[in-house]
Amino acid sequence: MSARPARRGDRVPALDVEAIRAQFPILATRMRGRPLVYLDSAASAQKPRAVIEALSRFYERDYANIHRGVYELSQRASALHDAARQKVARFLGAADAREIVFVRNATEGVNLVAHAFLEPRLGPGDEILLTEMEHHANIVPWQLVAGRRGAKVVPVPITEAGELRLEDIAERIGPRTKMLAVTWVSNVLGTVNPVHEIAALARRRGVPFLVDAAQAAPHLAIDVRALGADFLVFSAHKTYGPSGVGVLWGRAELLDAMPPWQGGGDMIERVSFAGTTFNEIPFRFEAGTPDIAGIHATGAALDWLEAVGLDAVHAHEEALVAQALERLSRVRGLRVLGRPRARAAVVAFTIDGLHPQDVGTLLDLDGIAIRTGHHCAMPLHERFGLPASARASMGVYTTPQEIDALGCALERIVARFA
Ligand code: PMP
């Protein structure tokens, strides 16, 4: 797998979207008597048969608790679990599988870093630098620790186009800045942020840097070693894997120096009432029984995505997003939020005279599933003076016909209701 998305001029294998779709059973279902047009992959992606079968096969043949039993079945489950961690490490280009911590979702990964890494280093008056385009998952955990420590969260503004400017970040980094956390891809604007440059800046200024890759992992090849950040999180469920599994990647030396967060089984070395010592990384951060089958199926999802090829996925989605922007521009009164130069497969919009909620409900009558509301990004909507928007997001299985169906349905809705 390449460490970077495809560029113009690269030869990228074309993606056979019909063959891909055939692997997603849910895409053959009908909604309200019509073929399902699923344009909400940024909220959660649908699952290929490889993932569904990995999950059911694991329960049928391989299931037992891990790292505990001496019996064969437990050892087999443990070996599959360890293999899944290796797969995630490979997917992220991590130097070492010890840098992969399994959590419930991206949100929990951010909370873990906020509590175990940042909170002990945070004092009154310190600052945590975020951006106006963050998902609540990359805002609220920082606010919670800031509140407890008398520190504050400082948002970096974004431009009208929906982009970050490096100088706006650089300007706000000062001696009190103890953390920088930025989304790689905005879940509303689709903006692909220059996280490599931001990481270089953070490094030069000695500020720990967390990348929220929840919306990047399904679309872009990741190589944490080339990236140069300190922490990165993503969720399996947006990456064609099961719900209930998330990943925190952290530099081994940082994880190693962090105290535990949650206590319980598996994260200890020795427990006595006189005191407890803790396990090594990553187990120190994995208290209790994890989603054993889900983690196994996450490995299957990443295998599947790598076999499709992230360069091919990226090229496919780039074409879809260009088509969507053109098609939606023909809908009367429709305004797309932001015009970032680099945009992943997400388009948020409003339509004059129509509430986004009504747009979503009317599209649903045509079997078209989009997201409406604030998309867990209230500060971003506030920045654009909007209470809400509608959002169409695409995935590896999205077709040009579906984008056209969205455009036609919106035109009918505007003609009737706007
Ligand atoms: N960050 C971004 C950019 C997201 O889009 C999301 C999910 N909408 C999250 C974080 C949180 O992901 P999860 O709910 O899986 O923890």
Residue-level pLDDT at 5: 47
Query: Collapsing DSSP states into helix, strand and coil, what is residue 260?
Result: coil
Residue 154: both structure tokens together: 């400082």
Sequence-separated (6 or more) residues with CB below 8 Å from residue 354: 333, 413, 414, 417, 418
Q: Is residue 175 part of a domain?
A: yes
Measured between its terminal Cα atoms, the distance across the chain in Å is 47
CATH code where residue 79 lies: 3.40.640.10
The number of beta carbons lying within 10 Å of the beta carbon of residue 333 is 13
- Split into its structural domains, the chain has a count of 2
Domain presence at residue 418: no
Nearest CA among 371, 363, 347 for reference residue 411: 363
284 CA → ligand 1 middle, Å? 24
- Report the atom number in ligand 1 closest to the C-alpha of 376: 8
Which residue's CA is the closest to the ligand 1 atom numbered 6? 214
Among residues 306, 333, 352, which one ends one of the domains?
306
* Same-domain pairing of 127 and 248: yes
Report how far residue 392's alpha carbon sits from residue 406's, in angstroms, rounded to the nearest whole number.
Answer: 9
Among candidate residues 288, 306, 324, the one where a domain is terminated = 306
Domain shared by 240 and 361, yes or no: no
Is any atom of ligand 1 closer than 6 Å to the C-beta of 187?
yes
Q: Residue 391: what pLDDT?
A: 98
User: Residues with catalytic annotation?
Assistant: 376
pLDDT at position 10 is: 56
Asked whether residue 1 is assigned to any structural domain, the reply reads no
pLDDT the model gives residue 418: 86
Mutate to test the pocket of ligand 1, among 131, 135, 219, 372 (most ligand atoms within 8 A of CB): 135
Pairwise CA distance, residues 19 & 103, whole Å: 32
Q: In this structure, which residue's CA is closest to atom 12 in ligand 1? A: 106
User: Is the preceding omega at residue 175 within 30 degrees of 0, hence cis?
Assistant: no
Domain range spanning residue 371? 17-48+309-413
Among 131, 136, 238, name the best residue to mutate to test ligand 1's pocket (greatest count of ligand atoms within 8 A of Cβ). 238
Task: Output the residue whose Cα is nearest ligand 1's atom 5.
Answer: 187
- Do 294 and 375 sit in the same domain of this protein? no
CA of 103 to the centre of ligand 1 (A): 13
**Ligand 1 atom index nearest CA of 106:** 16
Give residue 2's pLDDT: 37
pTM to 2 decimal places: 0.96
Q: Is residue 350 part of a domain?
A: yes
Last residue of a domain, one of 306, 341, 374: 306
* Distance between Cα 393 and ligand 1 center (Å): 14
Same domain, 268 and 393: no
Identify the pLDDT of residue 358.
97
Are 40 and 57 part of one and the same domain?
no
Same domain, 174 and 289: yes
Residue 175 and residue 29 in one domain:
no
Examine the domain organization and report whether 263 and 404 are in the same domain: no
List of the chain residues with pLDDT < 50 = 1-6, 8
Question: What's the CATH code of the domain at 347?
Answer: 3.90.1150.10
**R_g over Cα of the chain:** 22
